[in-house]
Amino acid sequence: MIAVGLAFIYLAIRQKWEPYELLPIGMGIIVANLPLTGLLAFPSSDAGFQEAGIFGVLFHYGLSYWNILPPIIFLGIGALTDFGPVIANPKTLLLGAAAQIGIFVAFWGALASEQIGMVFTIEQAAAIGIIGGADGPTTIFLSAKLAPELLGITAVIAYSYMAAIAFIQPPLMKLFTTKSERRLEMLPVREVSRVEKLVFPNVALILIVLVVPKSAPLISMFMIGNLFRESNVVPRLTSAASNEILNIATIFLMLTVGTQLTADRVFDLQTVVILCLGLVAFSFGTIAGLLFAKLMNVFLKNKINPLIGSAGVSAVPMAARISHQIGQEANPKTFLLPHAMGPNVAGVIGSAVIAGVFISLV
């Protein structure tokens, strides 16, 4: 496991694969697998609190007991997100929804793996399925609630696949679209007024939380962060949320996630199965987004380039950049980045909503 930790550090530093996530995860793995440190201990009795290790405390309060670290990350992400592309072309929200099909493909795949002798409970299947949302904090949040024993594995797999999305998506995008579809130029996005950008997070927050109250920790922090940004009256709060707070939470969250990857949990057939299911989830999410975009074009007068459908897999902003790059390869005149940000951001909302549904009903 120490070698696995070192491998993650190598991937982060040398290959620059999601370094903000994989570097602290790699260090957490090494620390957790060194013997007799007591760093992961969290005593169940009051008498032993002074015996608790720092990572035991971080895991207990940050994740398993209060589960506050992922919502704090979402505050920072909200402060960095621009809903302009979504508001300018709202039908791209549906592409974000379509790409969440990957979650349920992996969910059913986890339940069906009973046929090969690997039995997952419905809670564990939900935690595995949410990997398909390609949203790290949402994956961690849901796993901590429903299947804490799988937290480390699902989180690392989610972030690893997010880092590898540049390898996973392009072949599927080329397979499921024709060259003429990839060459399609889209009309420039309309200008969005400040009022629209101010009203949207408020309305989205109220609507989503009323329908799915259990999504409130993630959605409310996301929209609060966004309102800070769009208000333009609290620049220090916006700056703190998108820099210091986000970075501090990232450090503690990723270190804690890494410390959950002990040898007994990782070197297991279960991990290989989850690895395969994660890949299936990402792939089906990409394909569903592409095909739904093609379906929408049957009804639309102003066609959309189907490549933006794959950006519904909410690895922000990587998936949007990949849509843009593949589009540019086919036609240098096509500029898909602003269009692809719509489904990209919608995917974040979609996966948080589905996580809320899972928490409510499982």
Of 2, 19, 28, the residue nearest 253 (C-alpha)? 28
Q: Indicate whether 122 belongs to the interface with other proteins (CB under 8 A).
A: yes
Tell me the Cα Rg of the chain.
Answer: 20
- Contact between 117 and other proteins per CB under 8 A: yes
- What 3 state SS string does 314-351 have? CCCCHHHHHHHHHHHHHCCCCCCHHHHHHHHHHHHHHH
| 203 binds other proteins, rule: CB under 8 A | yes
Q: Cα(156)–Cα(4) distance, rounded to whole angstroms?
A: 12
Segment interacting with other proteins, rule: CB under 8 A, options 23-31, 36-44, 162-170, 189-197: 189-197
Contacts of other proteins in 81-100 (CB under 8 A) = 86-87, 90-91, 93-94, 96-97, 100
151-163 and 122-129 helices cross at what angle (nearest 10)?
20
Q: 179, exposed or middle or buried, with CB in 10 Å at 0-12, 13-18, 19+?
A: exposed
> Taking CB under 8 A as the rule, which mask of x and - marks residues 335-354 in contact with other proteins?
-----------x--xx--xx
Contacts with 294 (C-beta within 8 Å, 6 or more apart), sequence order: 177, 181, 306, 309
Residue 62 Cβ, how far from other proteins at the closest point, in Å? 26
Tokens 């959309």 sit at which residue? 304
In the block, which residue shows the tokens 């409970």? 121
Using CB under 8 A, pick the residue from 2, 7, 13, 199 that binds other proteins: 199
CA distance 355 to 226: 20
Min dist CB 281 to other proteins, Å, is 14
- Counting contacts by CB under 8 A, is residue 79 touching other proteins? no
Selected from 11, 12, 23, 126, the binder of other proteins by CB under 8 A is: 126
- Give the residue with the Cβ less far from other proteins, 179 or 190: 190
Tokens representing residue 115 in the block: 């046929």
- Each residue 210-229 as x (binds other proteins by CB under 8 A) or -, in order, gives -xx-----------------
Q: Does 187 bind other proteins (CB under 8 A)?
A: no
Which residues here bind other proteins, judged by CB under 8 A? 86-87, 90-91, 93-94, 96-97, 100-101, 103-104, 107-108, 111, 115-117, 122, 125-126, 193, 195-196, 199-200, 203-204, 207-208, 211-212, 346, 349-350, 353-354, 357-358, 361-362
